[in-house]
A and B are shown apart, each in its own frame.
Chain A
């Protein structure tokens, strides 16, 4: 007689259903792994697992001289490479109390804003793709190509430029640069209407994003959600306004703040920001003063012993660089406060109780770049 085995009876309703979003998944924009606990279609909780593209940039910086560090910062948030470079350059210049020529400041500001637009264009296409509208992807990339062409003509590369050096720039801008930027603004003002027609006004997109993935202002500050994502919640965190660098204090632009803090508001912040950036470009592009493209620097840059901090507004939020120097030509400790890292920490909080499709939309609207998280 066979013994009857009593299997333990589990309540299926209470069991958690884990799925892995990533590291290889069409919606994670890179190698980020999200372990999502589901109940049906509803996200119960979520654990990000980082480190799939951890290259130890902070450790590598401890062995590199300051000009060499620049090319490593390119590879953090590769979509706003110029802005990352800017942070390190500003830090070195601040520590050495070097005055960079006015021309350099203008060019840096213009290039930063171009980079911001390019980055937001890529965000727009990938967001459209996350929502299931594949056509957005091609329109966004087509228009980003115009900026990359301007970059390529002036700086020789399209994505990772290493264009800024401590004290100035690698080389002067190309003679066609100003004309190229002006043409681009004219072109993009036309094309951004397509963006609005195709995605912003679309009823499906609005239904899917409005009221979804809300983060309150208090939570945004507490989680350190900065950039367009933070401003969507009403957190006035634009470093360009509050701690101006470059020539942002001379440019007239608005820091647009949202109220709702949902996915749609985060979307709109970036759409506004592209227009604001174009406004900054229009004001500055004709006023680049003549002069040197680099300040005189010593051949070997040594920061005086001490600690320095520099904040800049990268395309995805506030980028902080913290350096402890012991007076050598290499930093003693270099820490990057990357915007995506803090934004990602809020993802679990934002996405509890939403549907799995909304999780993809929220991820798209936070716009994380994985190499910037892992560094």
Chain B
């Protein structure tokens, strides 16, 4: 008798547990307003990344096409993956001294692991995070970027 009783209580509990599970999925089925999916390419206009989002390393330029990079190469040594190459140029100053300035700040996005050590180590805060995240390209060479814009120069008060 007892075993028959357990047999039926087992069935009862099993069915009950199954129905609790079905209640959860059933509730979500009938509450489509709880859907969390984002419609990605359509919501491009309203999609705003957080300020701190690490999309890529950029070198901010001001309105006069001036940046803050001195070309010291600390970021190059700080980078664990060799994704930054700094090419310097020697120029002759008006007073006859030779001075190193930056020629090209080459950034290989394809090798970057977004650890942030270059930005943290930069003594003149020349680098920053950019919010761009759509990096897919058809040609790998396009992922190698030159961060200082053509014709740009170093900001006066940094250079001193």
Q: Are A68 and B14 in contact (CB under 8 A)?
A: no
Least CB distance from A151 to B in Å reads 10
State which residues 192-232 of A face B: CB under 8 Å.
194, 197-199, 201-204, 206
State which residues 156-174 of A face B: CB under 8 Å.
156-157, 160, 162, 165, 170-171, 174
**Which of A68, A155, A156: most chain B CB closer than 10 A?**
A156
The docked-state distance in angstroms from the alpha carbon of A64 to that of B21 is 50
Residue B117 interfacial (CB < 8 Å): yes
Which residue of chain B has the shortest Cβ distance to A141 in the bound complex? B36
Q: Which residues of A contact B145 (CB under 8 A)?
A: none
Interface size range of chain B in the complex: 20 to 34
The docked-state distance in angstroms from the alpha carbon of A63 to that of B150 is 35
Given A71-B80, A152-B50, answer yes or no on A194-B17 (Cβ-Cβ < 8 Å). no
Which residue of chain B has the shortest Cβ distance to A207 in the bound complex? B14
Q: Which of B62-70, B85-93, B108-116 lies at the interface?
A: B108-116
Given A64-B80, A68-B117, A162-B114, answer yes or no on A201-B52 (Cβ-Cβ < 8 Å). no
Residue A234 interfacial (CB < 8 Å): no
Given A145-B36, A152-B50, answer yes or no on A170-B20 (Cβ-Cβ < 8 Å). no
State which residues 90-132 of B face A: CB under 8 Å.
113-117, 120, 129
Residue A135 interfacial (CB < 8 Å): yes
The docked-state distance in angstroms from the alpha carbon of A170 to that of B78 is 14
Q: Which residues of B contact A170 (CB under 8 A)?
A: 116, 120
Residue A366 interfacial (CB < 8 Å): no
Q: Which of B21, B50, B52 contacts A198 (CB 8 A)?
A: B21
Q: Are B50 and A156 in contact (CB under 8 A)?
A: yes
Q: Are A201 and B114 in contact (CB under 8 A)?
A: no
Q: Are A198 and B24 in contact (CB under 8 A)?
A: yes
Q: Are B117 and A155 in contact (CB under 8 A)?
A: no
Q: Which residues of B contact A194 (CB under 8 A)?
A: 24
Which residue of chain A has the shortest Cβ distance to B15 in the bound complex? A203
State which residues 1-60 of B face A: CB under 8 Å.
13-14, 17-18, 20-21, 23-25, 36, 50, 52-54
Q: Which residues of B contact A68 (CB under 8 A)?
A: 78, 80, 115, 117
**Which of B20, B54, B80: most chain A CB closer than 10 A?**
B80
Q: Are B53 and A156 in contact (CB under 8 A)?
A: yes
The docked-state distance in angstroms from the alpha carbon of A70 to that of B116 is 11
The docked-state distance in angstroms from the alpha carbon of A198 to that of B54 is 36
Q: Are B52 and A171 in contact (CB under 8 A)?
A: yes
Least CB distance from A219 to B in Å reads 31
Q: Which residues of B contact A70 (CB under 8 A)?
A: 115
The docked-state distance in angstroms from the alpha carbon of A153 to that of B48 is 11
The docked-state distance in angstroms from the alpha carbon of A199 to that of B25 is 11
Q: Are A153 and B116 in contact (CB under 8 A)?
A: no
Residue A72 interfacial (CB < 8 Å): yes
Given A201-B20, A201-B21, A203-B13, answer yes or no on A71-B52 (Cβ-Cβ < 8 Å). no
Q: Are A71 and B113 in contact (CB under 8 A)?
A: yes
Q: Are A156 and B129 in contact (CB under 8 A)?
A: yes
**Which of B23, B24, B36: most chain A CB closer than 10 A?**
B24
Which residue of chain A has the shortest Cβ distance to B20 in the bound complex? A197
Which residue of chain A has the shortest Cβ distance to B38 in the bound complex? A145
Q: Are B18 and A202 in contact (CB under 8 A)?
A: yes
The docked-state distance in angstroms from the alpha carbon of A92 to that of B23 is 51
Q: Would you give 16 A-B contacts (Cβ < 8 Å), ordered by A?
A: A68-B80, A71-B115, A72-B80, A135-B25, A152-B53, A156-B52, A156-B114, A156-B116, A160-B114, A162-B117, A174-B50, A197-B23, A198-B24, A198-B25, A202-B18, A203-B14
Extra A-B contacts (5), CB below 8 Å, given A156-B129, A162-B115, A171-B52: A135-B25, A145-B36, A156-B116, A202-B18, A203-B13
